Chains A and B, each alone.
Chain A
């Protein structure tokens, strides 16, 4: 009995415990049941080679360093086998102290070329969809907007003409990494949370695929894996992070992580570096000398859907 209780305790997904230590609250128990039931249904489809280790894997916050290392090693093995490679690395680099990421996008300069969207797909191992990659999963949606209007209801997402078109401007929208994120509040199993450096992440092994977060997000930033993601072996990016661009499973939610595998090593996100116009600016909001802070200080910035009170880390500006 004791052994069983310990097992249950270990499985409890509680980064922020709402019950006293040692107790299993009624809500937690219901959540656990939900998670286990959903997990039992979803798990067999998640991986071709289903393993007990994967089933018993803890929440990311509850894993010890040793357990994390084991998990990373297991995942690397799985991915190497799946994609016929030997160079997969699954990283779990944590946040840096004194760093909070911010993003600024210059709407006066963006020409709507969608290079960011496609660089993001390549960097983050998204589902490529069909051979023509028509139905690939994309984190960035570029909206073609009428000049003089901020009405996203009238925006066009699937323009195919030469850009920039006369009388239009372009507004790329992606995860805003909100400081009061509705998606995080909506998750019933706490599979998504905001890291101390401001990045909102998903633990793909903990997500039950209920899609409440997608419904809660006002920026349409969360994307769901309706099918098992298809990534050709030669296109896969082997430089991955556990909370970021490691290959996902069928039935889990995914989203922009500011390229967590890159930014935690000091690099810029892929969308930032590919942008041909230099519209995208990235940096540390806590550093007064950073370009993002300078933009906030000096330019006319605005927040998309400010009225919903999500307090994003993503700013748009004109100059």
Chain B
């Protein structure tokens, strides 16, 4: 009865997985006040990142940046922050990326990873942070994109590892038509020169996916608009003035 045995084994495995998974889910939904120790190990990424407002767009959503920000690396080389240098597609396929990895960022801000003390100090509960991943409609979790063994690498569905400056290929594995448009410049923001003959590659900046979209919450955020124009009563826009008057 080998087939029977296999079937039983599969069923047993499924039950085991369900039993293991259930307590975590039940704890999260039922007990929002749970302490850190109850969750330790279940949500490793969110333990560090879930408590903060992850903003992937340091220069775009900040007010009025005509010029990209710059930072200097340890060798004194100036880079655009954090990804902005326009790279040829060939360069993006390279193993060595110019995009800072999590380790680079931690080193730059001098931070040391100590989850428990950080969260306790700030009065944070992991339960509050679990649901900040608003991407993929609940079908994604951290390790669908991040590599478990080396956090400085991203991972494709087929197991291929990507550096952080190749993240657009990871995005494109689900959003193919957008990647196609981005590659030819239709999708996404470009700053600099329209004229390829004049525009020096160093000065023309093509924004990458994660510069405009927070990869953990990709929808473009709403914002307050700049001040509205004053409409002349007899001008073509006077209609909305009339509407206001009518409403009063």
Q: Are the C-beta atoms of A291 and B186 separated by less than 8 Å?
A: yes
Give B226's nearest chain A residue, CB to CB: A114
The stretch of B1-9, B139-147, B159-167, B233-241 that contacts the partner chain:
B233-241
Interface segment out of the listed A28-36, A76-84, A85-93, A151-159: A151-159
Write out, one digit per residue, whether chain B residues 111-136 have a CB within 8 A of any chain A CB (1) or not (0). 00000000000000000000000000
- In-complex Cβ contact of B225 among A112, A141, A268, A291 (8 A): A112
* Chain A: interface residue total (CB-CB under 8 A): 49
CB-CB under 8 A from B109, the residues of chain A are none
| Residues of A contacting B184 in the complex (Cβ-Cβ under 8 angstroms) | 291, 294
Q: Can you list, as one digit per residue, whether each of A247-278 has a CB less than 8 Å from chain B (1) or not (0)?
A: 00000000000000001011110101111111
Q: Which of A219-263 contact B (CB under 8 A)?
A: 220, 263
Q: When chains A and B are docked, how far (Å) is the Cα of A299 from the Cα of B197? A: 26
Which of A115, A157, A272, A295 interacts with B228 by CB under 8 Å?
A: A157
CB–CB B188/A278 < 8 A: yes
A298 CA / B184 CA spacing, docked (Å): 11
Bound-state Cα–Cα, A198 to B126, Å: 58
Q: Is the CB of B228 within 8 A of A159?
A: yes
- Inter-chain CA distance A298–B181, complex, in Å, is 10
Task: Collect the chain B residues with CB atoms within 8 Å of residue A268's CB.
Answer: 190-194
Judge whether B223 and A113 touch: CB under 8 Å. Answer: yes
Q: Which of A7-15, A47-55, A201-209, A280-288 lies on the face that meets chain B?
A: A280-288
The main secondary structure of chain B at its interface with chain A is loop
CA distance A277 to B60 in the complex (A): 9
Nearest A residue to B62 via CB reads A276
**Residues from 36 to 94 in B contacting A, C-beta threshold 8 Å:** 60-61, 64, 66
Contact A134 B189, CB 8 Å, known A162-B222, A266-B199, A282-B194: no
| Contact in complex: B240, A158 (CB < 8 Å) | yes
Min CB distance B69 to A, Å, is: 15
Q: Is the CB of B193 within 8 A of A267?
A: yes
A64 proximal to B (CB < 8 A): no
Q: Which chain A residue has the least Cβ–Cβ distance from B232? A: A135
The answer to whether A263 touches B194 (Cβ under 8 A) is yes
Q: In the bound complex, what is the Cα–Cα distance between A295 and B186 (angstroms)?
A: 7
Q: Is A319 an interface residue (CB 8 A)?
A: yes
- Whether a CB of chain B sits under 8 angstroms from the CB of A149 is no
A-B contacts, CB under 8 A, total:
113
Q: Contact at B223–A162, with CB atoms within 8 Å?
A: yes
B186 touching A299 by the CB < 8 A rule?
yes
On chain A, the residues within 8 Å of B193 by CB distance are 266-268
Q: Say if the beta carbon of B227 comes within 8 Å of chain A.
A: yes
A27 adjacent to chain B (CB < 8 Å): no
Q: Does residue B185 face the partner (Cβ distance < 8 Å to A)?
A: yes
Q: How far is the CA of A117 from the CA of B226 in the complex (A)?
A: 8
Number of interface residues of B (CB under 8 A): 38
Chain A's closest residue to B189 (CB) is A278
A266 contacts B197, C-beta separation under 8 Å: yes
Pair A141/B237 contact, Cβ less than 8 Å: yes
Taking each of B66, B230, B231, B241, which has the highest tally of chain A beta carbons within 10 Å of its own beta carbon?
B230
Assembled-state Cα–Cα distance A142/B60 (Å): 20
CA distance A153 to B189 in the complex (A): 31
Task: List chain A residues, Cβ under 8 A from B194.
Answer: 263, 266-268, 272, 282-284, 290
Task: Report if A115-B226 is in contact (Cβ < 8 Å); known contacts: A277-B220, A281-B185, A283-B194.
Answer: yes
Interchain CB contact under 8 A, B229 and A141: yes
**Are A220 and B236 touching (Cβ within 8 A)?**
yes
Once the chains bind, are B228 and A160 in contact (CB under 8 Å)?
A: yes
Q: Which residue of the partner chain B has the closest CB to A152?
A: B236
Are the CB atoms of A291 and B223 closer together than 8 Å? no
- B212's partner among A133, A266, A277, A294 (CB-CB below 8 A) is A277
Q: Which B residues are CB-close (under 8 A) to A138?
A: 229
Q: A138-B229, A157-B240, A276-B61 are in contact. Are A294 and B223 (CB under 8 A)?
A: no
A276 and B229 form a contact (CB under 8 A): no
- Find out whether the CB atom of B198 lies under 8 angstroms from the CB atom of A265: yes
Pick from B191, B220, B230, B241: contact of A273, CB under 8 Å: B191
B31 an interface residue at 8 Å Cβ cutoff? no
Q: Does A111 interact with chain B (Cβ within 8 Å)? A: yes
Smallest distance from the beta carbon of A52 to chain B beta carbons, Å? 36
**Is residue A59 within 8 Å, beta carbon to beta carbon, of the partner chain?**
no
Task: Chain A residues near B186: list those with CB within 8 A.
Answer: 281, 291, 294-295, 298-299, 319
Q: Are A273 and B192 in contact (CB under 8 A)?
A: yes
User: How many Å lie between the Cα of A118 and that of B228 in the bound state?
Assistant: 10
Given the interface pairs A163-B222, A273-B66, A278-B188, the reply to whether A134 lies near B237 with Cβ below 8 Å is: no
Interface presence of B207 (CB below 8 A): yes
Query: Is A44 interfacial (CB-CB < 8 Å)?
Result: no
Q: Which residue of A lies closest to B222 (CB)?
A: A162
Determine how close the nearest CB of chain B comes to the CB of A205; give it in whole angstroms: 27
The 21 sampled A-B contact pairs (Cβ below 8 Å) are: A113-B225, A114-B228, A115-B64, A117-B229, A141-B229, A157-B228, A158-B228, A158-B231, A162-B223, A163-B222, A163-B224, A263-B194, A266-B199, A268-B191, A268-B194, A273-B66, A273-B191, A278-B187, A278-B212, A291-B190, A298-B186
Nearest 3 A-B pairs (CB), nearest first? A266-B198, A278-B189, A266-B195
Q: A157-B229, A294-B186 are in contact. List 4 more A-B contacts (CB 8 A).
A: A158-B237, A163-B224, A268-B190, A291-B184
